[in-house]
């Protein structure tokens, strides 16, 4: 199995288990300036895709250094009916120590990945092995109890080769 297919399978499996939860490598970068995200009382995942609002309505999940994933942060959420058309979004950051500025692109040597599934019948996978380029600002990363806050923006490439612009992405999660 190719490395990109393995990465896709890992990302898809992570989204299903927890969310139900190529080009030259560009390493994740980290700075010590965290983004500011207002804490909310409820768990939340939202973004704009080409200017259209997308908000998860179930399956929200977040974890920092979960069992079996040292130095990892997982973000997941879903929208729509829990059937074959359910849209799922996940961002998995690997090789991170905590809050900071992270740039992830396809071919990321740490294995970080972002993907959106079932955006439309024609665009059933975006990101992952199709291509992604995101900036993720993690402001809170706490393991136990889980408390995560992050913002993100960038692009995801669909299986139909359309590049989707992601803006004003927000994630807040508390166990």
Report CA-CA distances (Å) from 3 to 6, 7, 22: 5, 6, 10
Report CA-CA distances (Å) from 58 to 44, 115, 120, 148: 9, 17, 18, 17
DSSP 86: -
Give the pLDDT confidence score for residue 66 in this predicted structure.
94
Query: How many residues are present in the chain?
Result: 175
Please give the radius of gyration of the chain, using alpha carbons only, rounded to the nearest integer: 15
pTM as predicted: 0.77
d(CA 106, CA 114): 9
* 24-72 pLDDT, tens digit each: 333 444 443 333 344 445 899 999 999 999 999 999 999 999 999 889 9
* 33-43 pLDDT, tens digit each: 333 344 445 89
Give the pLDDT confidence score for residue 124 in this predicted structure.
97
Our CA angle for 127, 141, 63, nearest 5°, is 60
Give the pLDDT confidence score for residue 70 in this predicted structure.
85
Low-confidence ranges of the chain (pLDDT < 50): 1-40
**What do you get for the CA distance between the two ends of the chain, in Å?**
36
Residue 18 is inside which H or E element, if any? helix 3-19
d(CA 96, CA 24): 20
């Amino acid at each position: 199995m190719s490395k990109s297919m393995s990465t896709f399978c890992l990302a898809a499996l992570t989204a299903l288990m927890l969310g139900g939860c190529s080009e030259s490598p560009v390493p994740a970068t980290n700075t010590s300036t965290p983004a500011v995200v207002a804490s909310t009382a409820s768990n939340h995942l939202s973004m704009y895709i080409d200017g259209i609002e997308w908000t998860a309505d179930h399956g929200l999940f977040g974890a920092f250094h979960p069992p079996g994933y040292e130095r990892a942060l997982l973000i997941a959420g879903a929208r729509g009916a829990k059937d074959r058309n359910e849209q799922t979004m996940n961002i998995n950051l690997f090789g991170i120590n905590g809050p900071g500025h992270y740039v992830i692109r396809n071919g990321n040597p740490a294995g970080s990945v972002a993907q959106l599934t079932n955006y439309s019948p024609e665009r059933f996978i975006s990101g992952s092995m199709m291509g992604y380029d995101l900036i993720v600002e993690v402001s809170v990363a706490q393991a136990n109890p889980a408390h995560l806050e992050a913002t993100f923006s960038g692009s995801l490439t669909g299986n139909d080769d359309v590049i989707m612009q992601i803006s004003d992405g927000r994630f807040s999660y508390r166990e």
